[in-house]
C-alpha cells in the first residue's frame, strides 16, 4: 500500500500537502477548515509588526494564464495574529509566517513567536522575503540577495527556537545560491516559492490597470514550470528540505514537484480552480498515482529527477 505519511520536523503528518500562506488562512477557523478538507499542514497568513490594511482593491484578477493578486499583507499584526492562530492542537502542522522590513524587525517578530511558547502549538516559523508587490517588503525591499538572506536568517535563529523556513522568490535568478546562503546561516528548510512578477492586466474600457495597486504577483498553473525548475536547482544546492509552492492543482503536479526535490508541497490557487476540497483531492490523486506506479513511499520519488538530468 502506498503511504502519504510524512515527517514535518518533529511532527508526523498524514500527507505532504499544505495550505499556502495568504489563502484561507486569515483566522484559526479557516485554518482548521483547510485541515478538515485534507491538508497535512497549514501556513497561516503572514504577520507584520503592526496591523496592515493592505492594498486597495481590486486585489485579484484572473488572466489568460493564471491570476494576478496584490494583497499587500493585510493582517491584524503579530500580537493579535498569534492570539488568533495560537492554541493549535490538531494533528496537522501549523506554520507561522512572519514579514519584516529588515533583519532587525524579523528578529523582533521571531521574539514574539518565541514568547508565545509551547501554547502556540506551531511546528515551524516561516520568513516570507519574496513578495513582488508590497513596497518595503520582499523583493521590493531587496530581501532576495544572499547578504540580506543571511542577515534575516541569523536574526530569526537568534530569537526563536522553532525550525525556520525561508520563503524565496522565483522572480530573482540564482535560487540555488540564495537557498545555500539561507542554509549556511542556519535555516532548516526552504519554501520555493511565491507569486511571480510583478505583472499587470489593463482594463481596456477604463484604460487603467485592473488591480488597485496596479501590479501584482502571478499565480496558478502558468508558474508551475518555473517553480519546478527552481526546486530542482535548489535541491542540487542544499541538504535541507524544500517546500514546493506554485501552480499545484493536481496530484500529478505535486508528484512532479517532489520528483524535482520537494519534500512537501503547498497549494493556494488550487482552491480557486477546484474549491476548498482541493487539498484532499490532491492527496488522493497522489496516492492513486503512487499505487498505479508501484511507489510505496514518498521518499522513493523525492529528487528522483536528478538521476535523469545529470550533466544537463
pTM of the model: 0.96
Residue 30 has phi, psi (to 5 degrees) of: -70, -35
The single residue of 35, 131, 160, 312 carrying the catalytic annotation is 131
What is d(CA 208, CA 214) in angstroms, rounded to the nearest whole number?
8
Domain residue extents for the chain: 6-307
Handedness of CA 50, 51, 53, 59 (dihedral sign): positive
Nearest one of 27, 71, 80 to 50, comparing CA atoms:
80
What CATH architecture applies to the domain 6-307?
Alpha-Beta Barrel (3.20)
Rounded Cα distance between 186 and 83, Å, is 27
131 is an active site residue = yes
Tens-digit pLDDT profile for the chain (312 aa)?
A: 899 999 999 999 999 999 999 888 889 999 999 999 999 999 999 999 999 999 999 999 999 989 999 999 999 999 999 999 999 999 999 999 999 999 999 999 999 999 999 999 999 999 999 999 999 999 999 999 999 999 999 999 999 999 999 999 999 889 999 999 999 999 999 999 899 999 999 999 999 999 999 999 999 999 999 999 999 999 999 999 999 999 999 999 999 999 999 999 999 999 999 999 999 999 999 999 999 999 999 999 999 999 755 444
Amino acid at each position: 500500500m502506498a503511504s502519504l505519511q510524512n515527517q514535518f520536523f518533529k511532527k508526523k503528518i498524514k500527507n505532504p500537502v499544505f495550505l499556502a500562506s495568504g489563502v484561507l488562512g486569515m483566522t484559526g477557523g479557516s485554518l482548521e477548515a483547510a485541515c478538515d478538507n485534507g491538508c497535512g499542514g497549514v501556513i497561516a497568513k503572514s504577520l507584520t509588526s503592526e496591523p496592515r490594511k493592505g492594498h486597495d482593491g481590486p486585489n485579484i484578477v484572473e488572466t489568460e494564464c493564471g491570476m494576478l493578486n496584490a494583497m499587500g499583507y493585510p493582517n491584524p499584526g503579530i500580537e493579535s495574529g498569534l492570539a488568533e492562530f495560537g492554541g493549535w492542537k490538531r494533528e496537522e502542522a501549523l506554520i507561522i509566517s512572519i514579514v519584516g522590513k529588515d533583519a532587525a524587525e524579523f528578529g523582533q517578530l521571531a521574539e514574539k513567536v518565541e514568547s508565545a511558547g509551547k501554547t502556540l502549538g506551531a511546528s515551524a516559523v516561516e520568513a516570507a522575503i519574496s513578495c513582488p508587490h508590497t513596497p518595503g517588503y520582499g523583493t521590493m525591499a531587496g530581501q532576495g540577495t544572499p547578504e540580506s538572506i543571511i542577515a534575516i536568517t541569523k536574526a530569526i535563529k537568534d530569537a526563536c527556537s522553532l525550525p525556520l523556513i525561508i520563503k524565496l522568490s522565483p522572480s530573482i535568478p540564482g535560487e540555488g545560491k540564495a537557498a545555500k546562503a539561507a542554509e549556511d546561516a542556519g535555516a532548516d528548510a526552504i519554501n520555493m516559492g511565491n507569486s511571480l512578477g510583478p505583472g499587470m492586466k489593463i482594463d481596456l474600457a477604463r484604460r487603467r490597470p485592473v488591480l488597485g495597486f496596479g501590479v501584482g504577483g502571478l499565480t496558478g498553473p502558468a508558474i508551475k514550470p518555473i517553480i519546478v525548475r527552481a526546486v530542482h536547482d535548489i535541491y542540487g544546492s542544499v541538504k535541507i528540505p524544500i517546500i514546493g509552492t506554485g501552480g499545484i492543482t493536481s496530484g500529478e503536479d505535486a508528484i512532479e514537484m517532489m520528483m524535482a526535490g520537494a519534500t512537501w508541497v503547498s497549494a493556494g490557487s488550487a482552491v480557486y480552480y477546484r474549491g476548498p476540497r482541493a487539498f484532499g483531492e490532491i492527496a488522493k490523486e497522489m496516492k492513486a498515482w503512487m499505487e498505479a506506479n508501484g511507489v510505496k513511499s514518498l521518499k522513493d520519488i523525492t529528487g528522483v529527477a536528478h538521476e535523469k538530468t545529470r550533466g544537463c
